[in-house]
Structures are given as C-alpha cells and as structure tokens.
Amino acid sequence: MDILPHPLRRRLVLGSLSSALLLATACSKTTKPTGKTLAKDATLLCLGDSLTFGLGAAAGTSYPQVLEQLTGHVVQNAGINGDTTAGALARLPGLLQGNAPGLVLVSIGGNDFLRNMPPEGTRSALKQIVQMASANTQTVLIAQPRPVLMALATGSLKDHDLYAEIAAETGVPLFAGGWSYVLSRPELRSDQVHANTEGYKVFAERLAEWLREKKYIA
C-alpha cells in the first residue's frame, strides 16, 4: 500500500530523474574516447596509397615524414601508389609482424572509389584492415573524400560515408576531414587528387594536433 502523499511521490520521482540525468551528463563528458599514450620508442605505421606515399610533392615531404618530425616517433611509410583496400589488406600482416608498431594509421580507399570498384568489396576489405590492425595494436582510421567531379571542380570535397560507418561498427577512432580539407584547396594540391608539399605538411600538422588531443602522443 502506498502511504506517501501524491505531491511527495512526484517530487521524489522528479528528483531521481534529475539525478540520473546529471550522472549521465557527467559520464558523457568524462568518457570521451582517448588513446593510450605511446611510449617514446614506439613506432607509427602509416598504411595507405599515394596520399601516404607522398605523390605530387618533393622527396622527403610525405605526411608520414613530416609527422615523424612533429612527434619525435619513428614513422614507417607503408604507402604504395595506386594501392587499393584489397592490396593493403594483403600487405598488412607482414607489416604488423615486421614493424611491431605502437599505432597504425589507416588511410586507404580512394583508388577503389576512383576505379568504381564494387562497394561491398571495399567495405569488406577496409573493415578487415581495421579489425586486424586493432587486434594487434592501437589503430586510427583516416577518412578519404568521395571523388565527386563537381566537388573536385568547386573545392567542396566531403569524406566518404564509408569511413564513419566502419569507425562506428568497429569502435576504432576516426580522423575525419583531413584529406577533404587539403584536397578542397587548390593551393594545397599538386593535382585534383593529390596534395603538394605544403598540403602534406598541413595534413600532418592537423593529424599531429588531433593525436595529441586524443592522448596518443605527448
């Protein structure tokens, strides 16, 4: 039998709901996903295509090389011109075994889009790359833009939806907007789909800042 007066019951219920809401809000503010800070001798492995290789820029100015200068960590450039998600997936086991990286940065998929390869195959290969890498070490997925001709002409590139979807499915952090920002600006491009020396520098600076914010690097 309920012996509490109706107004009192209402105040108790509202008070409980308010407390729960405050607790949930506090938790959401304190549980932002962050990485485990890398040891000083930890290496970074950059898996990718021509954007990782550094096509279109002077030798020694690829984003992995600039990132090495900015972070003080040894950075392995595993970018191959023209590579696809399937090719990167085939290379990854050997790269993980040969480098034992503390962090893998995955930036691949643009050639799949440009060649109109079946999206199901691209999704499957990219997801397997992320899952394999994250099962071995910390991993970050880097979004690449959707190569829409009109967007290329007007400088308004946006990330392909596939990256956010895979990040959500796997729980792997996503560095979004980096390549879209650079490749939307003529002064940072060597052609429509590659950065120039300054473009790779800008990308590496923005990535390094993001990695520090996420606590991957000190």
Convert the pLDDT of each residue in 64-95 to its tens digit: 999 999 999 999 999 999 999 999 999 999 99
> What pLDDT is recorded for position 26?
38
Res. 3 pLDDT band, cuts 50 70 90: very low
Q: Which CATH number fits domain 44-213: 3.30.2350.10, 2.160.20.80, 3.40.50.1110, 3.40.50.300?
A: 3.40.50.1110
Mean pLDDT of 16-38: 50
Res. 35 pLDDT band, cuts 50 70 90: confident
DSSP 96: H
Residue bearing tokens 């070490």: 137
> Listing from the earlier edge strand, what are the strands of the sheet with 174-175?
75-79, 44-48, 103-107, 138-142, 174-175
> What pLDDT is recorded for position 150?
46
Q: Which residue has the higher pLDDT, 28 or 163?
A: 163
> What pLDDT is recorded for position 110?
96
Mean pLDDT of 46-52: 98
> What pLDDT is recorded for position 82?
97
For residue 203, give the nearest of 95, 87, 56, 100 by alpha carbon.
56
Q: Which residue has the higher pLDDT, 167 or 3?
A: 167
Mean pLDDT of 98-106: 95
Mean pLDDT of 170-193: 95
- 3-class secondary-structure state, position 78: strand
Res. 147 pLDDT band, cuts 50 70 90: confident
> What pLDDT is recorded for position 152?
54
For residue 45, give the nearest of 79, 71, 15, 21 by alpha carbon.
79
- pLDDT tops 90 at residue 196: yes
Over the chain, what is the mean pLDDT? 87
- 3-class secondary-structure state, position 58: coil
> What pLDDT is recorded for position 91?
98
- pLDDT tops 90 at residue 47: yes
> What pLDDT is recorded for position 155?
64
Contact 189, 199 (CB under 8 A): yes
- pLDDT tops 80 at residue 172: yes
